[in-house]
Structure 1
Amino acid sequence: MNGRVPPLGDQCGLWQTVLAAAAGRCQCRGTCGTSHERDGGRCKTVHGGYGRRHGTGPVHLLAAAADPDRLLLPAHQAAALPKQALAAWCPECHDATRRAADKARQAAPSAEPDSLFDL
């Protein structure tokens, strides 16, 4: 498929399906903290292209949850997501979005009580 070599764990072609739906381009639309305005509102990083920083080498896109909150799921739950819930991410956007989602979750007040009993 366009010279894309899938990751070793892609026995069922899920990664290839996600990358084909994304046309081989990162699908971040600013959740990473970058507006991507100059690129039409979407990250311009393509699979096999070069990173934004000098010397980073070719970029390998990954298939991960499209919803930023789901990027925080444990690995066994993330692996069970259907292909419709996945998006192609460049490593920079993926990591920045994941950090932002984690920071937002930590800042949100906990719905659970702090103690075992109300005093």
Structure 2
Amino acid sequence: MSARIPPPADLGMWQAVIAAAAGRCQCRGACGRSHAKEGGRCGREHGGYQQHHGGGTVRLLAAPADPASLLLPPHRAATLPKRALAAWCPTCHHGARTAARKTARAVAPAAPDALFDL
């Protein structure tokens, strides 16, 4: 698979999101890193090489731009319009999802099960 071959999915949507991002991850710190060395935005580009986290070729993902929306079930995330999507490198995507999960757990108190509420 070369750097120019997109993933086997909705190619039109993926290509539009990656083109709007100029082929670069759009994370600006939602993953928990400041990306200060890259000017505040992740420097990973589609088809580029990543030194850390196992190395290899970077394959950008088209996923919800809002970190809270990264927790949507796949069938709901698939219905989002292009303007609600962003390009993410796998490392930033994972970090942003993890941070969103932690935030969601901290904000939402555990609700009692209504079936056994007396």
Q: Unaligned stretches of 5+ in structure 2?
A: none
Q: Measured at CA, do residues 55 and 115 of structure 1 come closer, stay the same or move farther in structure 2, by a change above 3 Å?
A: closer
Q: 1:80 to 1:54 in 2, by over 3 A?
A: closer
Superposition TM-score, scaled by structure 1 size: 0.88
RMSD of the alignment, in Å?
1.9
CA distance in 1, matches of 2:17, 2:25: 10
TM-score scaled by length of structure 2: 0.88
Query: 1:13-52 maps to which residues of 2 (within 5 A)?
Result: 13-52=12-51
More helix by share: 2
SS at match of 2:92: helix
Q: Which amino acid aligns with 1:10?
A: D
Matches within 5 A, 1:48-59: 48-53=47-52, 56-59=55-58
In the TM superposition, 1:40-119 aligns within 5 A as 40-53=39-52, 56-110=55-109, 113-116=111-114
**AA in 2 matched with 1:20:** A
Task: List alignment gaps of at least 5 residues for structure 1.
Answer: none
Q: The residue matched to 2:87 in structure 1 has which SS?
A: strand
Deviates further, 63-72 or 51-60: 51-60
Identity %: 60
4+ runs deviating over 2 angstroms: 115-119
